[in-house]
Chains A and B, each alone.
Chain A
Amino acid sequence: MSDPLVKVRDLKIGATVYPPGEKPHDIEIVHGVSFDLEKGKVLGLIGESGAGKSTIGLASMAYGRGGVKITGGEVWINGRDILKSSFKDIRALRGGEVTYVSQSAAASFNPAKKIMEQVTEAAIEQGKFSKKDAEARARALFAKLGLPDPDNIGERYPHQVSGGQLQRCMTALALCPEPDLVVFDEPTTALDVTTQIDVLKAIKEAIRDTGVAALYITHDLAVVAQVSDDIMVLRHGDMVEYGDVNQIINAPQEDYTKALVSVRSIEHEEKAPTGEPVLSVRNITARYKGTKFDVLHNVNADLYPGQTLAVVGESGSGKSTLARVITGLLPPREGEIEFAGRILSPDLASRTRDDLRELQMIYQMADVAMNPRQTVGTIIGRPLEFYFGMKGAEKRTRIIELLDEIELGEGFIDRYPAELSGGQKQRVCIARALAAKPKMIICDEVTSALDPLVADGILKLLLNLQKIENVAYLFITHDLATVRAISDNIAVMYQGRVQRYGSKSEVLSPPFDDYTDLLLGSVPEMRLGWLEEVIANRRMESAGN
């Protein structure tokens, strides 16, 4: 049997860490990972942040990000161990035999150069193609990746194409030098679901047609199930499970893989509206200062006590703007907001202290939602002091109560935010909101920055707290799985308008309007062949029209 294209044996990767107050020391972040990859196959690397998946991806180009060193093992590509290669050989390898597609195309392209120049650069530099051939090849790839106007799109600058298009340009960049292996590092994570599906389709077809091998790195198992032949599940730098895609998705062996497969399967019975709504948004139209167009058009929605209204939409749909209007950060041009039976002043400065107390907010990035120079005790204690005048032992008792409610406990009271994990940070933010004894909490993408299992924990906690405290949530998200897990009512937003509004069962069952149909159909499902089905359906629909 001939050697596989890529053969990784017992790969060990270390990094230097600089814990404050201690001497810098080396730790191992990948503990001996091995895999094979044949030509034309795709291996999905999946795991949470810190699992070492990107590090392994970069190691296949013999590269380690700042402070990261490959400490042991072998990486064989095309029959030679690249970890023992000279710098000159590695130069020929990178951008020639092995290429890389990063998560943020917007941050990876040079804004001052045209797309064509950047897409063809590696192919020309490596001497694989002449300028003319490389450009012809790039145009063919643009067409294959479904980019509009493939003959001329290369003449544009990166900011002149959309995010999804730029991500596809980056795939063209990676495929242009005819590499043997492409490393895709979370190529669709930063995209909206409806865009993600186009990029996924383009990547999958390009891999199939060009016959390259690919490493596909992502944290989303449903995505990797659509494009990979084999999947390796990683956790804390260790291999958890490694097998073909069918086995991993349909018959996972390890508990961790099982948990990943069944993530977002929280069952939540929707509640019927009861009593008077705690929040009524009426005919809200709003625009940002100094702009000439409205970002919200005549938005209406109700939220009932102890229930959850999910506001769903892609980036730019106006869902976060709605939150700013409700909190008073952006006074609307028209319309009014009724909250707990009273009309809220449109402007934050003229709201009463009770208005502020009863309407709390939790943010997407828990990192920047907490002052890094305050301890958890100060962060949670401030609302107690501010709204209820609590001091000393009374305050401390209540802080500990709240810490218990968010399942952290007293030991966290003197910690600083930097000493918490992502999930713990978000929990502290929840406790800060609860400390004010609010009637309603606005949750702005609170689980989007978290790993799936951690996000699940946060959602369960929020549901549980809702039962205990009878607090209403206005839950802003782009993730439909989260919506299913938590909502009672849903408002689908598109371009500043509420496109569809009603109870969860109404909104999520047909007949759909065009946009909701597209949105619902674009959420990757945890089963094989989903992508093909969606693509086939769309083709039929467009043929039918």
Chain B
Amino acid sequence: MRIPVAAAIGMFFTALYFLAAIFAPLLAPYGYDEVVSSGFWDPPSAEFLLGTDGIGRDLLSRMIYGGQTTIFVATAATILSFTTGSVLGFLAAVAGGWVDQLLSRFVDLLMSIPSLIFALVVLSVMPVTLPVLILVMGLLDSTRVFRLSRAVAVDIEVMDYVEAARLRGEKTAWIIFREILPNALSPLVAEMGLRFIFMVLFVSTLSFLGLGIQPPQADWGGIVKENAEGIVYGAPAALMPAFAIATLAISVNLVADWILNRTTSLKGGRG
């Protein structure tokens, strides 16, 4: 099997980020909350590869730990949003009738409120802990996954093989997981890449606004917030997370594109 160059590059960087996240304590030269320099916004040097932040903490270490938090939260929220969204979306398509109406209208209701504002409201009354954050983000985002899965499943649901399964007497679970899911996988996987990046942006936005990950814990949105003032003094520390998010977004999408291409080959996705 040949992997195209773009996909290989995407995989390399995606893997790099995920490995850095997993092995953060081994890779980071200093602790995430360790004040290591008496100065602030030190320029990059042999000692501090990316320089230091506004209160003299090593920026590289904070970036690595920040990546760990951001990627963990985004991954967990994506998984949550895909499981809830796709199962409910398939169910709505297969069951139809009032089940479909109820779920779809509820999703419409949720989607009519901008998710950022909704999240801000919820997070300002609930304690801001990681599980709460993941739950709120995942559930809000699952509305989009629901829409997509339902649309895809409605098309598959009218296929004769699904009717054949119904006539055989198969239960709804079989129809969802064995007849529909394998055929709906490729658009969902492609969407997963996109949703993951949205999650990264979402958690970073929340942190930037002060309602996401709480300091002193590091995360990319928080690093932007802490170092925003530095821009005025010519310190690029706040741009580092932006660069990290951009490269991660591109890499993940290159991989998702490739998966999409591969699974939609003519042979029913074995190629």
Interface contact A365-B160, CB-CB below 8 Å:
yes
Asked, given contacts A329-B163, A382-B168, whether A371 binds B183 with beta carbons under 8 Å apart, the answer is yes
Interface contact A383-B183, CB-CB below 8 Å:
no
Interface contact A20-B267, CB-CB below 8 Å:
yes
Residues from chain A with a CB closer than 8 A to the CB of B266 are: 18-20, 418
Q: Does B26 contact A (CB under 8 A)?
A: no
Tell me, rounded to whole Å, the shortest Cβ–Cβ distance linking A330 to chain B.
12
* Residue on B nearest A429 in the bound complex, by CB: B164
Interface contact A386-B168, CB-CB below 8 Å:
yes
Q: Does A419 contact B (CB under 8 A)?
A: yes
Residues from chain B with a CB closer than 8 A to the CB of A20 are: 265-267, 270-271
Tell me, rounded to whole Å, the shortest Cβ–Cβ distance linking B158 to chain A.
9
Tell me, rounded to whole Å, the shortest Cβ–Cβ distance linking B94 to chain A.
13
* CB contact list, A365-379 vs B, under 8 A: 365, 368-374
Asked, given contacts A363-B160, A363-B164, A371-B183, whether A418 binds B267 with beta carbons under 8 Å apart, the answer is yes
Bitwise, A428-458 to B at CB < 8 A (1) or not (0) is 0000100010000000000000000000000
Tell me, rounded to whole Å, the shortest Cβ–Cβ distance linking B98 to chain A.
14
Please give the residue numbers on chain B whose beta carbons come within 8 Å of chain A beta carbons, in ascending order. Answer: 159-161, 163-164, 166-170, 178-179, 182-183, 265-271
Asked, given contacts A353-B169, A356-B167, whether A368 binds B160 with beta carbons under 8 Å apart, the answer is yes
* CB contact list, A392-444 vs B, under 8 A: 416-419, 432, 436
Tell me, rounded to whole Å, the shortest Cβ–Cβ distance linking A118 to chain B.
31
CA distance A329 to B183 in the complex (A): 23
* Residue on B nearest A371 in the bound complex, by CB: B161
Interface contact A418-B169, CB-CB below 8 Å:
no
CA distance A132 to B164 in the complex (A): 56
Residues from chain A with a CB closer than 8 A to the CB of B169 are: 351, 353, 356-357, 386
* Residue on A nearest B162 in the bound complex, by CB: A371
Bitwise, A71-86 to B at CB < 8 A (1) or not (0) is 0000000000000000
Interface contact A373-B182, CB-CB below 8 Å:
yes
CA distance A328 to B159 in the complex (A): 17
Tell me, rounded to whole Å, the shortest Cβ–Cβ distance linking B216 to chain A.
49
Interface contact A327-B167, CB-CB below 8 Å:
yes
Please give the residue numbers on chain A whose beta carbons come within 8 Å of chain B beta carbons, in ascending order. Answer: 18-21, 327-329, 348, 351, 353, 356-357, 359-361, 363, 365, 368-374, 382-383, 386, 416-419, 432, 436
* Residue on B nearest A359 in the bound complex, by CB: B167
Interface contact A372-B268, CB-CB below 8 Å:
yes
Interface contact A371-B167, CB-CB below 8 Å:
no
Residues from chain A with a CB closer than 8 A to the CB of B183 are: 371-373
CA distance A356 to B166 in the complex (A): 9
Interface contact B268-A416, CB-CB below 8 Å:
yes
Q: Of B163, B168, B268, which is within 8 A of A417 by CB?
A: B268
Residues from chain B with a CB closer than 8 A to the CB of A418 are: 266-268
Interface contact B182-A348, CB-CB below 8 Å:
no
Q: Of A19, A21, A348, A373, which is within 8 A of B167 by CB?
A: A348
Residues from chain A with a CB closer than 8 A to the CB of B164 are: 361, 363, 369, 432
CA distance A474 to B164 in the complex (A): 17
* Residue on B nearest A354 in the bound complex, by CB: B169
Residues from chain B with a CB closer than 8 A to the CB of A371 are: 161, 178-179, 182-183
A sample of 18 cross-chain residue pairs with beta-carbon separation below 8 angstroms, ordered by A number, consists of A19-B266, A20-B266, A20-B271, A21-B267, A328-B167, A348-B166, A348-B167, A356-B167, A356-B168, A356-B169, A361-B164, A363-B164, A368-B159, A368-B160, A369-B164, A371-B183, A372-B269, A383-B168
Scoring A329, A373, A419 by chain B CB atoms within 10 A of each residue's CB, the highest score goes to: A373
* Residue on B nearest A360 in the bound complex, by CB: B167
Residues from chain B with a CB closer than 8 A to the CB of A353 are: 169
Residues from chain B with a CB closer than 8 A to the CB of A373 are: 182-183, 268-269
Residues from chain A with a CB closer than 8 A to the CB of B182 are: 371, 373-374
CA distance A436 to B167 in the complex (A): 12
CA distance A359 to B169 in the complex (A): 11
Residues from chain A with a CB closer than 8 A to the CB of B179 are: 371
CA distance A440 to B178 in the complex (A): 26
CA distance A19 to B170 in the complex (A): 34
* Residue on B nearest A20 in the bound complex, by CB: B271
CA distance A18 to B183 in the complex (A): 21
CA distance A357 to B269 in the complex (A): 31
CA distance A417 to B267 in the complex (A): 8
Residues from chain B with a CB closer than 8 A to the CB of A328 are: 167
Residues from chain A with a CB closer than 8 A to the CB of B159 are: 368
Scoring A20, A356, A432 by chain B CB atoms within 10 A of each residue's CB, the highest score goes to: A20
CA distance A354 to B182 in the complex (A): 28
* Residue on B nearest A364 in the bound complex, by CB: B160
Interface contact A416-B267, CB-CB below 8 Å:
yes
* Residue on B nearest A436 in the bound complex, by CB: B168
